[in-house]
Structure 1
């Protein structure tokens, strides 16, 4: 049995809980979305922990360059100010895109979930009353994903692992703001 077949056997369990097909579809989709959110949040934490030293160096460099540019400005050295400011902008861009990449790490499980759902639910549509339109698995997954993200946002600080990561991130943001 391949990995994809194993994933299929595990995920399809979420769609057989009550025996009512429509209810099970929405409940299963919510649970798959919640699983994607949890895996994505775990991925962010791992990537952050692995890259923390690199992020620290970027933030320190950014703070140092900012101080140098302000010192040059106070001394009236426009040429040094411009050079430091240019370097600071570059450092900011690096830090920004590192944080952007970190945020994007949360999304990869959603794409795998959608790929799995495509194989299972591609031909199924849910009619929207009074419109003559129907929505497919992508629409329902996105709605469930948003709800799952909201739900997980409310409970993650009560979960031991995520509570510890949250404390670490808050301390990191405090220390980054001071530099």
Structure 2
């Protein structure tokens, strides 16, 4: 409870901007949601930077093995396709679970913010027109959080620290190489067939 008591004056100040309770509730919740997005993105950027080399190796292996499996499929080597595809799937699984872990790193501030909001706004609801339902602080916060996440996505390339992180992510994706698709394989076969037809 000591942590909430220490942070309460800081957070509640965001709810006293205009002096109009309803406007202040929505404005304050929006600001809290934006802070959680920024803090979550900062956390995920630290986790990414700490694990960058490991993630590069995993991504490169996934792309390489996937492309190798498609190459084997093109050449008709089913055994090589099966073994390469198995390794590509294993690499994809590792990349996928690392991505989930990184995503979880950006969500912890949400639970922290909702925990504080519960101490202040439990029992407060806003009627939703024509439904007979009420939106409590959780619904309002989550709606604000989604809007803030979209807004932050547009702002990220312009924010000093996050702009650098975005550049690193873009370089990381380039270094991993282009992931070929089955559509590429079908297109290539169609071109070969068309060339043979002429």
Distance 2:130 2:66 in 1: 59
Gapped regions of structure 2 (runs ≥ 5): 180-198
CA distance in 2, matches of 1:97, 1:116: 30
Aligned length: 179
SS in 2 for 1:109: helix
Bigger drift between 36-45 and 154-163 goes to 154-163
Q: Tell me the distance in 1 between the aligned counterparts of 2:113 and 2:127.
A: 22
- The unaligned stretches of length 5 or more in structure 1 are none
Mapping for residues 136-175 of structure 1, pairs under 5 Å: 136-175=136-175
Q: Distance in 2 between matches of 1:173 and 1:64?
A: 13
Q: Name the residue aligned to 2:132.
A: 132
Contact 2:56–2:172 (CA<8 Å) still a contact in 1? no
SS of the equivalent of 1:149 reads helix
The aligned residue for residue 40 of structure 1 is 40
Instruction: Report the aligned-residue RMSD.
Output: 2.1
Structure-2 change in CA distance of 1:129 and 1:76 (3 Å): closer
- Give the TM-score taking structure 1 as reference length: 0.88
Closer, same or farther: CA 72–155 of 1 in aligned 2, 3 Å: closer
Contact 2:15–2:28 at 8 Å: present in 1 too? yes
- The higher radius of gyration belongs to 2
Please show how residues 44-123 of structure 1 align to structure 2 within 5 Å: 44-66=44-66, 68-70=68-70, 72-73=72-73, 77-123=77-123
